[in-house]
Amino acid sequence: MLPLHDRIEVTPFFDLVHTLNLGAAFSFLANAGGWQRHFFTLLGLLVSFFLIFLLWRGVRSRLETLAYVFIVAGALGNVVDRLRIGAVIDFLDFHWYGRHWPAFNSADCFIVIGVGIMVFTSLMRQGHKEDV
């Protein structure tokens, strides 16, 4: 395991790092005093259970099912980190010509992909309604 705050350069624009995020996306509320750990853990669990309930009731398409599964997997991945060590481990670090994107993890990727699929399916449904 890579020691905390160390980095391995993979390409000129991508590094593997070991950082801990006490907050949410972009370290939002990271310095809030500790209550945010429990809040984001509870939020991740509530969103996951809600989406699992919607899956159990049935969704419109396989693509929508895939979106929900991606979001649940990402949310629960971050919940596990928060319960296990009190923070989310971020390790993907992109940068380009002095511009730096905050480090993130694969669970975050799953959430973003899942939300993207949901937006896509929603736009496709709206497009079909307008054709009628």
Q: How far apart are CA 3 and CA 89, in angstroms?
A: 12
CA angle 112, 116, 119 (to 5 degrees): 140
Q: What is the mean pLDDT of residues 70-96?
A: 95
Whether 132 has a pLDDT exceeding 50, the answer reads no
pTM reported for the whole predicted model: 0.86
Residue 90 annotated among the catalytic residues of the structure: yes
Strands 14-21 and 99-100: unpaired
Catalytic residue among 6, 15, 108, 131: 108
Secondary structure of 39-63 in HEC code, one letter for each residue: HHHHHHHHHHHHHHHHHHHCCCCHH
Single out the catalytic residue among 15, 81, 90, 93. 90
| Among the listed residues 55, 51, 43, 53, the one whose alpha carbon sits nearest the alpha carbon of residue 115 | 51
For 106-127, the pLDDT digits (tens) are 999 999 999 999 999 989 887 6
Q: Which of 33-42, 58-67, 72-81 has the highest mean pLDDT?
A: 72-81
What does the pLDDT average to over 71-85?
Answer: 96
- What pLDDT is attached to residue 129? 64
CA 128 to chain centre: 29
**Residue 108 appears among annotated catalytic residues:** yes
